[in-house]
């Protein structure tokens, strides 16, 4: 399939606007991605033609809406290559998915003296829910360190795994360092000891094909808004046999079978984990976004983004005083960097005046900042609608920043 970035950019009207008199160069895709017309059109059509609460009515619109919701679940199942739609739970996002498992798994399986393994490069969303659970249960959080290139130290991981380990929670791709972690190996080492693994895929699903069966992941989480879909929708994949045994996370409508004041029984999978009126329009938007990127081709996306990463890395590394954090050869198109003696906010503000949107700060990765003894970075996260021309503008913008502050 042919990949044509000019054609693709026409699907994203927001990209053609001017910011402070300059064409927008949007490099904040790690925080959230822009939405193609196909997705906004799906949402508009839903509100205009189909809107009704799912699973509760026998009237025409409710049945139609329910059918769309369940078809969206099937689209996600196919996208992840899960075995069954019972394994696909709609949530509010990666944070919602991780909290669901941290709570539910913790309630069922974790007690005093047990351990949970995370890594030093986790997003706060894959630290804090486990920490809260550990506090509740008297368990301990153990941390896999990373080396100076931003790669997990696998020997240390091997040493942390023990009979006390109840679960491992690891990101597939780091949102600051860009590192693609060896999750398949991490999972197989844990499985050798019968320990389940949750993978935070928030920065992975938008960059290449994910196959949960091939990874043998027990749980896999991602957010719609980072994969060209609307905000407020996300996915928790879980192996059916594991989800079956877990207690529900939240109580409310739809997740129940029979309710009485004496005893309530719960609905079957996946509904047991979907309490309340779900974001069914977001689910339709997510399915539409997944269809869109599947249409562009996930291999095309991976190859094109890799070429952008190589081009940008070579250009930026040639700038005197610019340091890149995260230099693993296994990396997606995220570049975190600092300019000698220049505060990232100052640099980010000047770039913004040139129409260039980068993220500045800790990126919800304070332990990563502590590792490098820095207070934050600038981060340019590139996706398949970015261009080499935009990277040239970033390069020129950085030279301008250095001239002003350096
Ligand atoms: N994990 C990673 C690796 C992320 O990059 C993010 C978002 N920056 C999250 C988790 C949390 O995602 P959300 O805020 O969409 O729930």
Is the pLDDT at 358 greater than 70? The verdict is yes
Active site residues: 364
What is the rounded CA–CA span in Å between residue 24 and residue 16? Answer: 7
In 297-383, alpha helices (H)? 298-317, 344-353, 366-372
In 227-385, alpha helices (H)? 240-245, 280-296, 298-317, 344-353, 366-372
Q: Is the CB of 100 under 6 A from ligand 1?
A: no
Residue 17 corresponds to which tokens in the numbers above? 């606007």
Q: Is the CB of 381 under 6 A from ligand 1?
A: no
Q: Is the CB of 123 under 6 A from ligand 1?
A: yes
What is the rounded CA–CA span in Å between residue 392 and residue 389? Answer: 5
pLDDT reported for residue 2: 82
Atom of ligand 1 nearest to the CA of 174: 3
- Paired sense of beta strands 377-381 and 334-339, if any: antiparallel
pLDDT reported for residue 1: 64
CB 400 within 8 A of CB 354: yes
Q: Is the CB of 206 under 6 A from ligand 1?
A: no
pLDDT reported for residue 406: 77
For the chain, the 3-state helix, strand and coil shares in percent, each to the nearest 5, are: 45, 20, 35
What pTM, to 2 d.p., does this model score?
A: 0.98
Q: For residue 341, how many other CB atoms are within 10 A of its CB?
A: 9
Token pair 């997003």 is at which residue?
A: 123
Atom of ligand 1 nearest to the CA of 96: 16
Mean pLDDT of the residues in the chain: 97
Q: Is the CB of 97 under 6 A from ligand 1?
A: no
Q: Whose CA is nearest to atom 5 of ligand 1?
A: 175
Pocket of ligand 1, candidates 90, 177, 364: which has the most ligand atoms within 8 Å of its Cβ, to mutate?
364
State mean pLDDT over 128-137. 98
State mean pLDDT over 89-96. 98
Among residues 120, 172, 180, the alpha carbon closest in space to that of 146 is found at 120
CA 258 to ligand 1 centroid distance, Å: 35
Is the pLDDT at 26 greater than 70? The verdict is yes
- Domains, the chain, ordered by start: 5-28+297-405 (3.90.1150.10), 50-294 (3.40.640.10)
Atom of ligand 1 nearest to the CA of 31: 8
């Amino acid at each position: 399939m042919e990949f044509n970035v000019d054609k693709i950019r026409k699907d994203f009207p927001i990209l053609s606007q001017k910011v402070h008199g300059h064409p927008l160069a949007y490099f904040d895709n790690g925080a959230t991605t822009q939405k193609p017309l196909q997705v906004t059109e799906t949402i508009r059509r839903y509100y205009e033609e189909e809107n009704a609460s799912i699973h509760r009515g026998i009237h025409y619109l409710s049945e139609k809406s329910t059918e769309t919701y369940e078809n969206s679940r099937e689209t996600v199942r196919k996208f992840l290559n899960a075995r069954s739609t019972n394994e696909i739970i709609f949530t509010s996002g990666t944070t919602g998915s991780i909290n669901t498992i941290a709570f539910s798994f913790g309630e069922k399986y974790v007690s005093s003296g047990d351990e949970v393994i995370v890594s030093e490069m986790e997003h706060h969303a894959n630290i804090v829910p486990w920490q809260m659970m550990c506090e509740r249960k008297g368990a301990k959080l153990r941390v896999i360190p990373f080396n100076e290139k931003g790669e997990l130290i696998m020997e240390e991981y091997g040493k942390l795994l023990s009979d006390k380990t109840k679960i491992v929670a690891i990101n597939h791709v780091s949102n600051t360092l860009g590192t693609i972690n060896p999750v398949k190996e991490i999972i197989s080492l844990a499985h050798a000891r019968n320990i389940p693994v949750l993978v935070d895929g928030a920065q992975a699903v938008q960059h290449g094909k994910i196959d949960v069966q091939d990874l043998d992941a027990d749980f896999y989480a991602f957010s719609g808004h980072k994969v060209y879909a609307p905000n407020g929708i996300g996915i928790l994949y879980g192996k059916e046999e594991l989800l079956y045994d877990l207690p529900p996370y939240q109580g409310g409508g739809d997740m129940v079978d029979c309710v009485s004041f004496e005893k309530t029984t719960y609905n079957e999978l996946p509904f047991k984990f979907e309490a309340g009126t779900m974001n069914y329009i977001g689910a339709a938007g997510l399915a539409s976004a997944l269809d869109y990127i599947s249409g562009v081709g996930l291999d095309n996306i991976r190859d094109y983004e890799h070429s952008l990463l190589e081009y940008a890395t070579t250009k930026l590394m040639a700038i005197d005083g610019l340091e890149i954090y995260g230099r693993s050869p296994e990396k997606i198109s995220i570049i975190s960097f600092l300019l000698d003696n220049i505060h990232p906010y100052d640099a980010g503000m000047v770039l913004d005046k040139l129409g260039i949107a980068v993220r500045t700060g800790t990126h919800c990765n304070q332990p990563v900042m502590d590792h490098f003894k820095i207070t934050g970075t600038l981060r340019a996260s590139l996706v398949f609608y970015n261009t080499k021309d935009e990277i040239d503008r970033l390069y020129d913008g950085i030279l301008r920043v250095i001239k002003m502050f350096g």
